[in-house]
Structures are given as C-alpha cells and as structure tokens.
Structure 1
Amino acid sequence: MVRSPPPFARFEWLIAWRYLRARRSEGGVSVMTWISLVGITLAVFALIATLAVRSGFRAEFVDTILGANAHVTVYGAIYDAETGATSRLLTEYAARTEALAAVPGVTRAAPLIRGQVITTHEGRTSGVEVFGLSEGDLRSLPGIAADETARGDLDRFSDGIAIGSGVARELGAGVGDMIRLISPDGVKTPFGTSPRVKAYEVVYVFSLGRFDIDRTRVYMPFAEAQAFFNREGGADEIEVMVADPENLDRYTLGLMQAAGQGALLWTWQDASGGFLRALEIEDNVMFIIMSILVLIAAMNIISGLVMLVKNKGRDIGILRTMGLSEGAVLRVFFLCGAATGVIGTALGVVLGCLFAIYIDQVFSFVNWALGGGVWDPSIRGIYNVPAKLEFGDVASAVALSLGLSFVVTLFPARRAARMNPVEALRYE
C-alpha cells in the first residue's frame, strides 16, 4: 500500500521555492508580488513605529506625572476659620503625615504648602505655582534628585528657592540670581491685606521633562512657605507616594483610615484620568487605522498569486496528472503567498524596531533637514518624541500581519487546487 506524503512535504517546499525564484519571463514572481512585499514591509514598519511611539508617550507622561506629583493628595475637611472664611488648613499635619507614612506600600508622605504668585526679574514677569516642601521631602522626589541636567546646589535649598528650567528661561534668571515673588494674599494691616513682596536667591534649577511643569513650578522651603502664604502652624495638603501607583485601589482603604475623619483623597488618576482615557481611545483608533493599512498591503498578495496561478496553469495540469493531490497543489501556492507575508513581516519588524531604537537620531535628522522647529515642546508638553518597544506590541503586529497574509493567500491557492487538469492542458 502506497502511503501519501505528509502535508508540507519537502517536494512541496521545493516546488514553491522554484516558482518564487523563477524569472518573470518563465511565469515566476510578478511585479504585483514585489509590490505586496514592499507594502507589507512598510505597513508592519508603520504599525510597530506607531505602537512604539504610543507606548512611549504614555510611559513618558505617566513617568513625568508620577515623578513630580503626588500619587495621592490628602486634603482636610472644610471648616470655618477665625477670620470667618472657610479653610482646609491641616493644623495636625505632622501626626497625619506620620500615620500615612506607616501605611503598607507608602514610600513617601510629606506636608505641602501650595500657592500661586507672580515672579519678577529684571523687568520680566511670570506667573508660577509655589510648592513649600522641606529639603528632605524635596530630595525624595525622583524627578528632582535624579535630574542630571539640573544646575545649582540642592544642599543650599534652605537659603533660597528651586525653580523650573522654563521659569528660569522666562525670567532670564540663573543660579545665584535674586528673583522677587509677589503674593496678593500678603500682610494683614488695619487697612486690609497688602501684597507680600520678597526676594529669594535661586539656588537650584531643575527640569522634570514636562514643559508645562518646568514652566510654572517653584519649590520653597516649607517653613518659609508657611510664613509667606500665612499658613503658620498648618499645611495645605499632604502628598503621598506609593510603591505601585498604577494600582491605587489596594491602598485606598489604608490611606483613608490613616488620613482621619473628614479627609479627602485625590489621586493622580483623578487628576489625569481624562487625559489618559483620551490617549487610550486615540491609541485604539490608530491601531485600527494601521491594521487597515496592513490589510490593504496583504490584499495585494491575492493579485500577485492569481497571476502566478494563471501563468502556472500548464504546470498545475502536469502535476495533477502525475498524481499530485488538490491539497498538495493548494499547499504549494499557499507557501508561495505566505512567503511574501513572512518576508515582508520580518523586514517590517526590523525597520520598526530600528526606528524605535534610533528615534532621537531620526528626528534630529528630520529637524535638521527641515530647518528646525519640527517639535515644539510648548505645544507637545514634552521635549522630544518618546518611543518604547514592548514585546506585546511587536507580537500583535506580527500576529496581525501573518494572520492576514495567510488568510488572503488561501483564496487563490484554493483556486489553483481546484483547477481541472484537462482544461489546463487542453490548449497546450
């Protein structure tokens, strides 16, 4: 009894390889096949590049948000102050801070004074937001202590203030310069409240990686901020950082209990959740659009394979009369079409990964070629184009491209398999 060969036997690969490397004059690979190969390569490259930039944007924004801002902010309950106005001032902030720091998973808890002022220096003015922190609490901020581009000496923080690089640029100020801070909520006199004006030395200039933060943020020693903003004996809020800020739900109960009755918790997801949700929707839409491009490129395989089947009609008839089964013919032409998808996908993955790895050099060249101004951080919010290669993104791009390529290949391959050998050889 003669046993039939197993699927995808060696001779099927040899026939498919012979058809692929045959010259066009011999009925081999057509121009449409080359077009589909280039199309799949570019589509996969664009898909991986888009996914890498998408992941990079999210990681960059989350890192800068979490590196300079509290993961959870604790506010006090509203009460009537002695002046008759309502207030949220935390007078027992030291005890609350200690209780919050003891919650499992909390890596940092610090009282904070916050206020908005006008800064002036040599005729230039800028509106900024002042954060009053102790030197130790300021050093515990990852974006401040680990800033390699910072200028000045953080050890002298108690003698002055630290300002963002954008504030320094707006005011034309640097380390050692004196800048004036003007607060409308200043000195209380019998005739009312007069603005408070005081000059401070710039001892540290930092860059947190976010243009909007660097442009508006100033850090002041905690005790000095209490006096400057009339917060003696209290704090506006307590900022808390946790070990896993992406999963804040696991800390909520413990923080609420430690914060005390009437406290209000405001998380970084509450503050930036709308932006992150919009970014996620945009990511999904971009993935769908780029997937359509991959589908269009894969559809070109049908055109090339149909032409190949038409040119190889005589060969199909001869192979069928020699005993080749319909399944073997289908697999031969399936291999011809799938090879285009596999090669195009592999080339696209290489190009996409190289683009993500060398994105800084690529955009530097583009910026130079176009004369500069390609990336405006005042509009984008960050200083350069981020890209982050993730295995899941590359795997999804490969799976999508190969899946579409294999599916569209089945239709012309099935047509070749069902070709009648008599009709194929009738006019030969």
Structure 2
Amino acid sequence: MIAWRYLRARRAEGGVSVMTWISLIGIALAVFALIATLAVRAGFRAEFVDTILGANAHVTIYNSADVNPNGQLDRAISNYTTMAENIAKVPGVTRAAPLIKGQIMATANGRNAGIEVFGITAQDLAAVPRIAHPDKSWGDFVDFDKGVAIGSGVAQELGLRVGDQIKLISPEGVKTAFGTSPRVKSYEVTYVFTAGRYDIDRTRLYMPFAEAQSYFNREGTADEIEVMTADPDKVDALVPDLLKAAGGRAMAWTWRDANGSFLEALTVEDNVMFVILSILVLIASMNIVSGLIMLVKNKGRDIGILRTMGLTEGAVLRVFFICGAFTGLIGTAAGVILGCLFAIWIDPIFSVVNYLSGGGVWDPSIRGIYHLPAKLQLHDVLSSIFLSLGLSFGVTIFPARRAARMNPVEALRYE
C-alpha cells in the first residue's frame, strides 16, 4: 500500500522522479530491441535453412574419382538406378534421385548468362518443394518433359517468358576427328519458378534426365544421387548407412558441409547481438537505481516516522523494492508488447521503411533471400523477459537496502 502510494504521488510531493520514467522507457525500448532482434535472427535463419532444404539435396552421394581406360578421372555412376533404390531403402530417407549436373552458357534475346543445369526426372522434381510448389511460378509444371524449367532470375536476366526459346551452349559437345566442338541446342521454356533464394533463381535450370544425359554425353550414367531425408537436422547420423548402401566408391556431402561456415557465422552473430542488447537492458535498468535513490532521499522523513512507529527494516526494504521492481515490470511488459507487434507486422513496417528510403533497402543478391523475415519463438521472448526482470530486480536491491538501514534518528534530526 505504501509503495503504491509513492508510485502514484506527484513529483512535487516527492513521488516518482523523472529518472524513473526515463528508466521505464529505456527498459521498454531495450526489451523491444532485444525481442525484435531475436525474432529477425530466428526468422532469417529459418528462411535461409528452409530455402536450402527446399531446393537442394540434404545429402549428395557421388563416386570417388577413378581412372578410366583413357587415362581420365571418372566419377560417373553407371549403376545409378540400383544405387538410388538401395539408398531409398535406408530408414529415414524419403527420396533418392539420380542427377546430371553441368555448367553452361545460356543465351536469348541477345543476352548471355552462365547457368547450372540439373538433369532430373519429372517425378523426382515434383518432390522438390521449392521448385514444384514455389512462392511464385509461371507456366504448368506438367509440361516439364516438353522443355526446361528455369529460375525467375534467369528469366529476368535473359528476358524470357513461358513459351520462349532458350539456347544452351556447352563447351563439351560433339567429339569429332578435329576435336570437341561446342554443343548448341535450343529448348522451350515451359516453367518458371521463384524458389525464394536469389542464387538459385538466378543460376538454375532444370532439364529432363534423359535429355540431360544426351546433352552432356552422359548416356547410361549419372553424376550423383540426390538424397532427401525425413529429418535434415539428423542427417549426419544417416551418412554411414547411406555410404554402406551406395557401395565402396561412394562419398557423401551433406547440406551442413555445404553451408556449415555460414551457419556458424550466424550463430556467432546471434550470440554477440544477444550480449550487446543485454548490456543495453542493463544500462536501462541502472537508471532505476538513480530514480530510487532520489525517491529514498525525498522520503527520508517518512522512513524515519514509519521506523519509529515500529515498521521493520524488511518492510521498508519491500516498500522500495516494489517501487523499483514495478518500474522494471511495466517497462518489460511494454517492451514485450512492442517487440511482438514489430515481429508480427514486420512486412508492412519494412515496406514503409523501404518506401521512405526510396527502395533498395534489402538487396537479395547480397542477403540471398528476398525479404526480411521474423519468427517469434517462445524461448526468445521468455529469455528476454527473465533477463530484463532479473536485472531490474537485481539493481533495485541496493537502494532498497539503503533505505531499510536508514537510522530513524538521523532521518528526523532536522525535522
């Protein structure tokens, strides 16, 4: 009751000082920044990993290099059908598909672009979620066997639409008595997709498996086996079984191997940002000390009278602890609300920021994905709440103890 009376008192009556209001606002903004940062971090990681797993193999199985009769290193998989069937039987594997891969030059409308070709059957491509069911698409996926499917970035770069012709040029073409001549062939664009990753949409082209074998001189062979698993996070545990099912020359390359350094960099950045923003919360909480010390000084006469009437030190400590803790509690609650609202409405907020800045705030060619995502996670919100309340309650103890230990005689000497 006494603490509530002090909190409601006006400044002229020696109530809550301006410093306390500053600390409340500071805590709210610090908690808001912490929750917003954690939500954006979680959203970015989730979107990045989802685009990796949604358009790429969880595990790639390929053969180690062997010297063929011509003295050349050969990694071709001749028994790809049997190998894919054996791999598909491994518990935890959802799909195993033979692939043909190659890098070529594409040209159309007087423009050129380097692209990566994936030769795959229509049935296997239909099981790739970010390609068969992308964010945006043009054309009909069922027409894939009649031509090629390209990313929206390739289509934009070359000025292509569904139904147009794209010319592919491979340096490894027809072998003649005078050497190897480049192979040039035109295909109809039957499907355009936006997978959600700039590097995929900008460089990738899918071609029917049999046509890719013919185009790249891979008749009767495959370059690798694309493996999808039920739980990509546990893919490392499946590698020994996959290699055993694939055969003696098989080697594995997981999605973690391909993106491990980037994910590690994200983890380090996440930890650093959490520490920095925690320091901001601490700085905001320290303002409670200033406000509470001023409140204790203004209420010295009251403390002396209450102690003389028999109020214990513990009761006085609780009075001023409640005053400081209430500031931290209200500031934390306001920060949590603001942070959650920011994460929920991040798309319109970012659109306004992008509009006011004239556009180009988010460059997908640098960041890989097309928008700034945010993902609210319960443990992130709870960690922010516990951190803010813990710091707020902790710094309140010192001035509250000082008030409790005040000598009533000294407090009333000059009254």
Question: TM class by shorter-chain length?
Answer: over 0.9
Aligned residue number for residue 386 of structure 2: 399
8 Å Cα contact 2:325/2:393 also seen in 1:
yes
1:77 Cα deviation from its structure 2 partner: 2.4
Whichever residue aligns with residue 414 of structure 2, its letter is: Y
8 Å Cα contact 2:148/2:188 also seen in 1:
yes
Aligned residue number for residue 163 of structure 1: 150
Whichever residue aligns with residue 400 of structure 2, its letter is: A
Aligned residue number for residue 220 of structure 1: 207
Aligned residue number for residue 48 of structure 1: 35
Aligned residue number for residue 211 of structure 1: 198
Matched, 1:183 2:170: yes
- Picking from 121, 139, 142, the partner of 2:126 is 139
1:249 Cα deviation from its structure 2 partner: 2.8
- Picking from 84, 92, 98, the partner of 1:97 is 84
8 Å Cα contact 2:236/2:254 also seen in 1:
no
1:218 Cα deviation from its structure 2 partner: 0.4
SS of alignment partner, residue 334 of structure 1 = helix
Q: TM-score, normalised by structure 2?
A: 0.99
User: How big is each residue's C-alpha offset from its partner over 1:47-73, in whole Å with a ceiling of 9 and x where there is no partner?
Assistant: 000000110111011000000000000
SS of alignment partner, residue 230 of structure 1 = coil
Counterparts of residues 268-287 of structure 1 (less than 5 Å): 268-287=255-274
1:368 Cα deviation from its structure 2 partner: 1.1
Q: How many residues align?
A: 415
Matched, 1:254 2:241: yes
User: How big is each residue's C-alpha offset from its partner over 1:99-156, in whole Å with a ceiling of 9 and x where there is no partner?
Assistant: 0011111011100000000000010010000000000000000111222411101111
Whichever residue aligns with residue 140 of structure 1, its letter is: A
Matched, 1:64 2:20: no
Matched, 1:350 2:366: no
Matched, 1:152 2:139: yes
User: How big is each residue's C-alpha offset from its partner over 1:320-362, in whole Å with a ceiling of 9 and x where there is no partner?
Assistant: 0111100110011000000000000000000000000110010
Rounded Cα–Cα distance in structure 2 between residues aligned with 1:293 and 1:226: 59
Rounded Cα–Cα distance in structure 2 between residues aligned with 1:414 and 1:58: 45
1:31 Cα deviation from its structure 2 partner: 0.3
Aligned residue number for residue 231 of structure 1: 218
SS of alignment partner, residue 60 of structure 2 = strand
User: How big is each residue's C-alpha offset from its partner over 1:372-420, in whole Å with a ceiling of 9 and x where there is no partner?
Assistant: 1111111111100011000010011001000000000000000000000
Aligned residue number for residue 4 of structure 1: none
Aligned residue number for residue 350 of structure 2: 363
Rounded Cα–Cα distance in structure 1 between residues aligned with 2:390 and 2:400: 16
SS of alignment partner, residue 427 of structure 1 = coil
1:251 Cα deviation from its structure 2 partner: 1.3
Cα root mean square deviation, aligned: 0.7
- Please identify runs of 4+ aligned residues in structure 1 that moved more than 2 A: 81-84
Matched, 1:314 2:323: no
1:253 Cα deviation from its structure 2 partner: 2.3
Percent sequence identity over aligned pairs = 70
Matched, 1:110 2:97: yes
Rounded Cα–Cα distance in structure 1 between residues aligned with 2:87 and 2:129: 19
Whichever residue aligns with residue 357 of structure 1, its letter is: I
Rounded Cα–Cα distance in structure 2 between residues aligned with 1:309 and 1:277: 49
Counterparts of residues 362-381 of structure 1 (less than 5 Å): 362-381=349-368
Rounded Cα–Cα distance in structure 2 between residues aligned with 1:110 and 1:82: 28
Q: TM-score, normalised by structure 1?
A: 0.96
User: How big is each residue's C-alpha offset from its partner over 1:290-314, in whole Å with a ceiling of 9 and x where there is no partner?
Assistant: 0000000000000000000000000
Rounded Cα–Cα distance in structure 1 between residues aligned with 2:246 and 2:298: 78
1:280 Cα deviation from its structure 2 partner: 0.3
SS of alignment partner, residue 248 of structure 1 = helix
Q: Which runs of 5+ in 1 are unaligned?
A: 1-13
Rounded Cα–Cα distance in structure 2 between residues aligned with 1:82 and 1:186: 20
Aligned residue number for residue 254 of structure 2: 267
User: How big is each residue's C-alpha offset from its partner over 1:167-198, in whole Å with a ceiling of 9 and x where there is no partner?
Assistant: 00100101000010000011101111010000
- Picking from 265, 268, 276, the partner of 1:289 is 276
1:211 Cα deviation from its structure 2 partner: 0.6
Whichever residue aligns with residue 273 of structure 1, its letter is: G
SS of alignment partner, residue 129 of structure 1 = strand
SS of alignment partner, residue 180 of structure 2 = strand
SS of alignment partner, residue 199 of structure 1 = strand
Rounded Cα–Cα distance in structure 2 between residues aligned with 1:185 and 1:345: 64
Q: Which runs of 5+ in 2 are unaligned?
A: none
1:262 Cα deviation from its structure 2 partner: 1.7
Which deviates the most, 415-424 or 371-380? 371-380
Which deviates the most, 31-40 or 139-148? 139-148
Whichever residue aligns with residue 372 of structure 1, its letter is: G
Whichever residue aligns with residue 217 of structure 1, its letter is: R
